[in-house]
A and B are shown apart, each in its own frame.
Chain A
Amino acid sequence: MKRTMLILFVTLMPILSPAKNVDLVTLPKRNTVELTIYNSEDITLAKETRDITVKKGNNQIQFSWAGTLIDPTSVEMRILEHADKIEIEDTVFPGQKPQHLIWNIESEFEGQVPVEVSYFTSGLTWQMDYVAITDPEEELMKFRGYVRVFNSSGEEYDDAHIRLIVGRINLVEKIVDLAKRYGIAAPATADNDYKKLQSAVLRQSFAYASTVMKGRPAQDAPADGKKQIVKEGLSEYFMFAVQGSETIKNGWSKRMEAVKANDVKFDILYRMRSYQYGARPVRFFIWLNDEEHSLGESPLPDGQVRIFRENGQDGLSFLGQQLIRYVPIKAKIEINLGPDDLVVYETFRHGTTRDNFSFRRSSGREYVDGWDERTRWVDSIRNYRTKPIRFELRRQWAGHVDYSSEIKTKLFDYRTIEATFDVPARGKQLYPCMVVTHNGVNKKQERIDLKKE
């Protein structure tokens, strides 16, 4: 088993020569472990507390992490008690022993002291996924968000307190690269200060995370066994803290419920945007990450959303899946379920005429160099569902276009019209429009002018 080890040398050695030692050591076990895992970068701050026994004078504490993905530059030890009497004099990374370090400690105190060892490691990651199950009428849904923690760090973390950070951070070097580098990298001259500053900021944010969580009530699992995931805003980030402790063995992953909402209302909207979704209208489920929709407790991190429907036959139907990007509180969630065979869209051109010709004269003859083209279009939407549907039509037109329709229409952008209307249950709605395109020298613009019908 690959493990981090904290070793207390019981022999006193005034000058270090670790490679030649035959050591007699004690192995203080971990009292607690706390993991703070980011999802935007492969970085985790591990904090563990152990008890060591020191004697007056010089002590040597060895820390080793063979076979794991710990960044050696990040390993720090903090004395938690009698700190005024115990001084860490220096940290030595022995050349002949990779993945080892030795702290030389000068102590005026003799006895047992708790210490906290912290380091950045890689290989611990997490991700979210979501499951929504609608009722057969597609009016309300049960929405669940699951957090899944993956441990491929090379280290076993038993009974660890886990915090998960949502948000993007900036790293100048990957932890996994630092972990695999032999020895300690020579400091980069140009950005050394910047790196130090970054490291300090990162630690500060992690430290704040711990402070926030320390004010929480006791974190034992509740009576129904279900562990709560406590959510907390943190600077530009958001933190999910798993109640109680979890054991995540190396190579394993674990999935826990983090978001739970029942009776979530949602809207269904059909969108016809041939330039974006293809030739058929697509069905969207849309709701907000807010209180009105039984959500809004926290942002929703990136993750796959899978939507099912209770099919009325004592089973589920799978409607579709889509990856959502980070959804802030009060922001909209839109899931594209693809085309629906029960909603049919067709478009017809009902004839074209041309007028407003202009001519240029050349060699005694006249040539057409400008004209307007008028085309009547009628779009038809047939709804075979038992409920009315909301339909949004967006259509792009190239060139200089005068556009009119008897159905309320607005411009989405300079070349795209947008109209939203209802289509009755088992009914049909027509969307007629007149498109006048100015061509040749008649073309003065590259945009649509909305005209009254």
Chain B
Amino acid sequence: MACMAAVLLLAPAAQARIKLATLPVRERVEVQLDNGTYTLVEEERIVPLLKSTAENGNNRIDFSWSNTQIDKNTILFRPLAIRQGGKFRAIAKADGKEEINVINVAYPPGENALVWEVYAAEACAAKVRVSYLVSNLNRSFSYRALANKDETELTFRNFIQLRNYSGEDFGTAGVWAGFGPKFLKKIQQQETIKMLLHRFEKVPVNKTFTFDWYKHGQLNPAKPLASRVLMHYELVNDEKHEMGLFPLQPGKVRIFIQDGHGGEAFLGEDIAKLTPLDDKMRLYLGESRDIVCTRIMKENKRHNVRGNLHNQEIVISYEIENFKDKACQLDIVEQINGLCREYAGDPHGDAEWEQKERTSKGIDFSYPTDKVNPVLSVKLPARPKDKAEKVKKQVFTFHLLIKNVW
């Protein structure tokens, strides 16, 4: 509990720690959560000040706290205004001297307290602001994503959780995360308050299916050439995708889907990484059982260049079955350095390679991270509607030459 006392009797510096004091209440409290590491609390109080005189000295304002983890070294005291006729006016300067001045701060031994010595040109009621950093009053972020049944759009809610284990009741306080709205909440000890920062409606979402042989390996012994296909929701933090208001902070995302009957089903959860503006947020949904991709090394041919220097020609075939009732896209990640190590030799850094002519026309290449980890995107038709008709394997070929290996 933090407490501020204006000592009515203007005491000399060496005052005893027995005090007769008025206790100005907090007029306003602000909790600033915009710094991820430190939480700043600002409180405003109206403090009665007596006129400083040579005989009586200056005012002494005692600020003390117990069971609260205030960083003593960060406490700031700033006089803001003087009450005059029921209103507050700015602190004036006469002859270059301010009407209210903080002379010094004294820290008594063994106490969570400090004493400001404050000069006042005249007796007045001053609005002052006390700011300090406090521990165990912190923030975290979480998200709730609700997908429509077609999984084309999300309602994406961004929450901020305020966790108050600082030992202090702050009463009704303004809370601001540095972005989004400012909240006015009653903050009690050991409370966690979850507040909706923003609700993004109709956020276009792209459901992706990813196959990465070198990352995920063999699916199971029964299918030695198949690997797992992972599902993600991909959303873009920009205005075009109904977002782009602020960087999305790291936090847990719970993902739900509308079940088409007015209810919702839980799809899973993931930890979102910091997503700056214009960046993609990828949310892992789990493993797809309805898309099976088998990767077969069709050709592996060495072409000598000179001495032990050679090129390696490789043909990879992807046989893919889509058992879903919807068409989709499969993204196949090929790690060329891994391929080189396995079939050609040490890549000596990044492998040098080029795509060759037998590569299937239906593959779209992209390079989201770098040139040696191309993503091969292929379109897969939905399973046949005719119950008698079997799912047809889609076969794609990646023909490449890894160059200058030894």
Q: Mark B7-29, 1 if CB is under 8 A from A, else 0.
A: 00000111000000000000000
A155 beta carbon closer than 8 Å to chain B: no
Complex Cα spacing A341 to B245, Å: 13
Question: Does A348 contact B370, Cβ atoms closer than 8 Å?
Answer: yes
List of B residues within 8 angstroms of A451 by Cβ: none
Do A342 and B247 touch (CB < 8 A)?
yes
User: Across the interface, do A368 and B105 meet the contact criterion of CB distance under 8 Å?
Assistant: no
Q: Are A247 and B13 in contact (CB under 8 A)?
A: yes
Does residue B176 face the partner (Cβ distance < 8 Å to A)? Answer: yes
The answer, yes or no, to whether A235 is at the interface (CB within 8 Å) is no
Does residue B263 face the partner (Cβ distance < 8 Å to A)?
A: no
A 212-253 binary contact with B (CB < 8 Å = 1; else 0) = 000000000111111100000000000000000011011111
Interface mask (B102-118 → A, CB under 8 Å = 1, otherwise 0): 11111111100000000
Q: Chain B CB within 10 Å — which of A250, A342, A354 has the most?
A: A354
**Given A318-B133, A354-B352, A439-B348, is A366 in contact with B307 using a C-beta cutoff of 8 Å?**
yes
- Give which listed residue, A256, A316, A373, contacts B42 with CB less than 8 A: A316
Given A251-B108, A352-B349, A366-B306, are A317 and B32 also a contact pair (CB < 8 Å)?
yes
Q: Which A residue's beta carbon lies closest to that of B133?
A: A318
Chain B interface secondary structure, helix, strand, loop or mixed?
loop
A residues near B404, Cβ cutoff 8 Å: 353-355, 357, 371
Given A224-B101, A350-B371, A368-B307, the answer on whether A315 and B349 have CB atoms closer than 8 Å is no
Q: Are A357 and B97 in contact (CB under 8 A)?
A: no
Say if the beta carbon of A304 comes within 8 Å of chain B.
yes
A352 to B353, CA, bound (A): 8
Number of interface residues, chain B, beta carbon within 8 A: 59
Q: Which residue of A lies closest to B57 (CB)?
A: A225
Contact of B308 among A306, A351, A368, A375 (CB under 8 A): A368
Which of B40, B52, B176, B352 interacts with A352 by CB under 8 Å?
Answer: B352
Say whether B276 contacts A304, CB under 8 Å.
Answer: no
With both beta carbons as reference points, the residue of chain B lying nearest to A337 in the complex is identified as: B35
* Interface residues on chain A, number (Cβ under 8 Å): 57
Shortest beta-carbon distance from B312 to chain A in Å: 14
Tell me if A223 and B97 are in contact (CB < 8 A).
yes
Interchain CA distance A448-B227 in the complex, whole Å: 43
CA distance A254 to B109 in the complex (A): 11
* Interface flag for B366 (CB, 8 Å): no
Residues from chain B with Cβ under 8 Å of A192 in the complex: none
Residue of A nearest to B104 (CB): A256
Q: Are B74 and A313 in contact (CB under 8 A)?
A: no
A319 CA to B34 CA in the complex, in Å?
9
Residue of A nearest to B58 (CB): A225
A365 at the interface (CB under 8 A from B): yes
Task: Check if B265 is an interface residue, CB within 8 A of chain A.
Answer: no
State whether the Cβ of A158 lies closer than 8 Å to any Cβ in chain B. Answer: yes
Contact B350–A375 (Cβ < 8 Å): yes
| Chain A residues whose CB sits within 8 angstroms of the CB of B40 once the complex forms | 308, 316-318
A247 to B13, CA, bound (A): 7
Asked if B30 is at the interface (CB within 8 A of a chain A CB), the reply is yes
Whether the pair B348, A373 counts as a contact (CB closer than 8 A) is yes
8 Å CB contacts to A: which residues of B174-204? 174, 176, 178, 182
Contact assessment for B274 and A341 in the assembled complex, using a CB-CB cutoff below 8 Å: yes
Is A367 positioned at the interface, with any CB of B under 8 Å from its CB? yes
B309 contacts the other chain (Cβ, under 8 Å)? yes
Look across to chain B and name the residue whose beta carbon is closest to the beta carbon of A224.
Answer: B97
Residue of B73, B308, B371 near A349 (CB, 8 A) is: B371
Given contacts A224-B98, A373-B348, A357 and B247 within 8 Å (CB-CB): no
Docked CA distance A158–B15 (Å):
12
List residues of chain B with CB under 8 Å of any chain A CB: 12-14, 30, 32, 34-35, 38, 40, 42, 52, 58, 73-74, 76, 97-98, 101-110, 119, 121, 131, 133, 174, 176, 178, 182, 247, 249, 274, 276-279, 306-309, 348-352, 367, 369-372, 403-404, 406
Known: A255-B105, A311-B34, A317-B32. 10 other contacts (CB 8 A): A225-B58, A225-B103, A251-B109, A256-B104, A308-B131, A352-B349, A352-B372, A365-B307, A367-B308, A439-B348
Could you tell me which A residues sit within 8 Å of B by CB distance?
129, 131, 148, 158, 221-227, 246-247, 249-257, 304, 306, 308, 311, 313, 315-321, 341-342, 344, 348-355, 357, 359, 365-368, 371, 373, 375, 382, 384, 439
Q: Sample 20 A-B pairs with CB under 8 A, ordered by A number.
A: A129-B73, A224-B97, A225-B58, A225-B103, A225-B119, A226-B119, A247-B12, A251-B109, A252-B108, A255-B104, A311-B34, A315-B42, A315-B176, A318-B38, A348-B370, A352-B350, A354-B352, A365-B307, A368-B406, A384-B247
